Amino acid sequence: MRHESLLLGDNFREEVARGEFAGGSYYSLHVSPANHTITTCPNCGAVRHGGWCAECGQEYPDELGAVARIAWRQWRRIAHSLWALMAHPGQLTTEFRDGQRARSVTPWRLTFNVVALFLVLSFITNFRVANFPRLDTTGDLAQVMQKAEAEAHAEPGALTERLDRRFNSIYTVLVIVIVGARALAARLTHFRHPASWSVHFVFALHLTAWAFIATFAYLAVLRLLGATPFGGVTGASPEVGRVFLGLVEIWQWSYVALAFRRVYGDRWLAATVKAVFMVATGLLVSNALIFVAFWLALHTV
């Protein structure tokens, strides 16, 4: 019984015995009299079979090296997810659909972690509020920023920093709208396919995660070359940004077409046409939400 006390703690066992454990349903721990090992799950009380609980999914903590195993397992999931996401379009969605889910990061977690990392690394890509006026050829956005600073009586740069934080928060929430729009586009382009809505949403999540990674690479290259999609900056050719934008759009179109073939079994012609619709939908919604997030940030900061 001493082994059990070391694993769970005397206080934990006493709370369970008194019925004061805050886990909901109360239970008594069963310990094998032969080797004093726990035969029920410490988390939910289910009968123990193997190294994992069949009810709640928790790994049993009575083995050495648990932290190292968890870290290694998470690394393998991340490596598999990123490799499949970038090199094998649609593979993660088919794995999810076919029940092979333990080997990869869950779709929601993968997508929003990628979005968060994309925003954290904005100092590399220049995806910041301070850089938006440079992309506006009309100059209206610069005037709006100057007017907002004057009305706020803020020091130079202080309002921009607050806008950046507010914009990142709002845009992260609005990513849900991007995912929903892509899921709807997947459903509309495959309305005769028997796939459920969950498959469409998972497809949209994986596509959104890939799109943010591709956008990060695209913006990083543009900044390295000193160009924008709308013209040259710091001596770069005015056509550099447009050429790279076209290459990225072809990359995205090819990626979606291959993903459609793998997930939905489309023929090449059908996958190509549907990919054009999906890419156009993603571009329109994503760009619109950037302006919406900026407007909301400007009026709520």
Distance of CA 37 to the CA centre of its chain: 40
Write the pLDDT tens digit of every residue in 63-117: 566 778 778 888 999 999 999 999 999 999 999 999 998 889 999 999 999 999 9
Q: Which three-class secondary structure string do you get for the chain?
A: CHHHHHHHCHHHHHHHHHCCCCCCCCCCCCECCCCCCECECCCCCCECECCECCCCCCECCCCCCHHHHHHHHHHHHHHHHHHHHHHCCCHHHHHHHCCCCCCCCCHHHHHHHHHHHHHHCHHHHCCCHHHHHHHCCCCHHHHHHHHHHHHHCCCCCHHHHHHHHHHHHHHHHHHHHHHHHHHHHHHHHCCCCCCCHHHHHHHHHHHHHHHHHHHHHHHHHHHHHCEECCEECCCCCCCHHHHHHHHHHHHHHHHHHHHHHHHHCCCHHHHHHHHHHHHHHHHHHHHHHHHHHHHHHHHHC
Given a cut of 80, whether residue 149 has pLDDT beyond it is no
Q: Beta-carbon neighbour count of residue 119 at 10 Å? A: 19
Write the pLDDT tens digit of every residue in 119-133: 999 989 888 888 887
Among 108-112, 225-229, 242-246, which is the least confidently predicted range?
225-229
Given a cut of 50, whether residue 22 has pLDDT beyond it is no
User: What pLDDT sits at residue 98?
Assistant: 93
For residue 61, report the phi and psi dihedrals to the nearest 5 degrees.
-90, 20
**Mean pLDDT computed over 178-206:** 95
Q: What is the C-alpha separation between 226 and 219, in angstroms, rounded?
A: 10
- Angle at CA of residue 236, ends 233 and 237, nearest 5°: 115
Q: Please, which pLDDT band fits residue 10 given cuts at 50, 70 and 90?
A: low
User: What pLDDT sits at residue 282?
Assistant: 92
Higher-confidence residue of 195 and 27: namely 195
Helix orientation angle between 158-189 and 107-120, rounded to the nearest 10 degrees: 150
Look up tokens 């939905």; give the residue.
264
Q: Beta-carbon neighbour count of residue 129 at 10 Å? A: 24
